[in-house]
Amino acid sequence: MVGLTFLDKDISFQTYPYLQGNDKAWIRPLDGLQKRCFEENLIKLNQIIVNPDLLLEEYKKQLAKISDGYKIFFEPYSYKNKYINYLYNKHLLPSFLSKSKRLVLLNLIRCETHYDKMIYLLKNFK
């Protein structure tokens, strides 16, 4: 939660970190160690956001985490079969995605939600 204060032309804010329940409706403000951890994490995130190099590095880390899950969509294997997924992720099944096919797929991507993830994956396919 964020509190905003407007004084003349100055705007300031105060964060109020909290936990909320999923099963039942409840909210509890963070305190002590939890609040300090939240504030330290917020400082770290802000440092990453204002530094383009750090932001790109963190973004690439996130894309690397999801890459394997997306690669199977480009293969003729059934992505719904957990055994096929396992074999493919362990590199026991070959990839059928050629460089030329990757270039075609790059031109076909239109979904904004997955655009950045898929562009990264196709450019860095191994």
State pTM to two decimals.
Answer: 0.53
The pLDDT tens digits for 3-45 are 999 999 899 999 999 999 878 889 999 999 999 999 999 999 9
pLDDT value of residue 106: 73
pLDDT value of residue 124: 84
pLDDT value of residue 61: 92
The answer to whether 124 and 66 have CB atoms below 8 angstroms apart is no
The answer to whether 119 and 112 have CB atoms below 8 angstroms apart is no
The pLDDT tens digits for 63-115 are 888 887 777 777 777 667 888 888 887 888 888 888 887 777 776 676 666 67
Nearest to 98 by CA among 106, 108, 87, 88: 106
Q: Which helix (H) or strand (E) holds 10?
A: strand 10-15
pLDDT value of residue 113: 64
The answer to whether 26 and 20 have CB atoms below 8 angstroms apart is yes
